[in-house]
Amino acid sequence: DAGITQSPRYKITETGRQVTLMCHQTWSHSYMFWYRQDLGHGLRLIYYSAAADITDKGEVPDGYVVSRSKTENFPLTLESATRSQTSVYFCASTTGALEQYFGPGTRLTVT
Amino acid sequence: RKEVEQDPGPFNVPEGATVAFNCTYSNSASQSFFWYRQDCRKEPKLLMSVYSSGNEDGRFTAQLNRASQYISLLIRDSKLSDSATYLCVVNILFSGAGSYQLTFGKGTKLSVIP
């Protein structure tokens, strides 16, 4: 039972580069979420998706793009990475109950 | 005012101690409440839901006071394995797809000392 996976687990990129973080879940959960976690801020919602082809902004969406062409995948793209986007990114999913299941996270460093 | 506020700690307690965490939330429309646990450099995981009548799961007891907009978590007989950050989490009911959004507190760090 793979559950929810994220790749890469660690990424270093340069300012201005485009980078995509992948999220894959095997449960066929309808809802998926992207969060970033920073010291002093806790977990903040970037984008969420209620189903394939349905996405919406969360609290901090600027600089990020998402897509969801398949239920199981929810990639997050930083179109032009900035140092302020250095963070730990967590993907999560739920079937519609309120408990969210989180992936292991991606540690992104923008130099 | 932050939507969900917690004492950041750290709380350093000896094994066997009882420790209590508190959390306040600002939106009276909040519907559901949870405690999540996050180990260092790991993902958050649900510890327990919090019900209006209060609920217990082994050594863990959660309480909710809607009038005061206050949530608590009590850990009895602390174990070394309880060392983690505890996140207070609230669901504010939105319409449509947004209804499953969770709002997280910044977390309270607990260290249980031998």
- Fill in the amino acid letter for B13: V
Of the listed ranges A54-63, A94-103, B11-20, B72-81, the one predicted with least confidence: A94-103
Look over chain A and give the mean of its residue pLDDT values, rounded to a whole number.
94
Interface test with B, best of A9, A30, A74, A98 (most B CBs within 10 A): A98
> Which token pair is A40?
């002093």
CA gap A50, B97 in Å, rounded: 6
Q: Please name the member of A33, A94, A105 whose beta carbon is closest to the beta carbon of B43.
A: A105
Residues of B in contact with A105 (CB under 8 A): 41-43
> pLDDT grade, residue B31 (50/70/90)?
confident
Q: Find out whether B107 and B5 touch, Cβ atoms under 8 Å.
A: no
Shortest CA distance from B85: residue in chain A:
A42
> pLDDT grade, residue B97 (50/70/90)?
low
- Confidence at residue B27, expressed as pLDDT on a 0 to 100 scale: 84
As beta bridge partners, residue A81 has: none
Q: Please name the member of A50, A90, A98 whose beta carbon is closest to the beta carbon of B97.
A: A50
Q: Name which residue leads in pLDDT, B8 or A93.
A: A93
**Mean pLDDT within B95-106:** 74
Report pLDDT digits (tens) over A15-28.
999 999 999 999 98
Tell me which residues of chain B, numbers 90 to 109, contact chain A at a CB-CB cutoff of 8 Å.
Answer: 91, 96-98, 100-102, 104-107
Q: Name which residue leads in pLDDT, A40 or B72.
A: B72
> pLDDT grade, residue A64 (50/70/90)?
very high
CA gap B18, B78 in Å, rounded: 6
As beta bridge partners, residue B113 has: B14
CB pairs under 8 A between A and B: 52
Residues of A in contact with B45 (CB under 8 A): 102
Q: Do A43 and B44 touch (CB under 8 A)?
A: yes
DSSP letter assigned to residue B17: -
Q: Do B106 and A42 touch (CB under 8 A)?
A: yes
Q: What does chain A look like in DSSP terms, one character per residue?
A: ---EEEE-SEEEE-TT--EEEEEEESS--SEEEEEEEETTTEEEEEEEEEETTEEEE-S--TTEEE--SSTTB--EEESS--GGG-EEEEEEEESSSS--EE---EEEEE-
- Confidence at residue B52, expressed as pLDDT on a 0 to 100 scale: 87
**Mean pLDDT within B24-39:** 90
Q: Please name the member of B32, B97, B104 whose beta carbon is closest to the beta carbon of A43.
A: B104
CA gap B90, B93 in Å, rounded: 10
What number of H helices and E strands is found in chain A? 0, 11
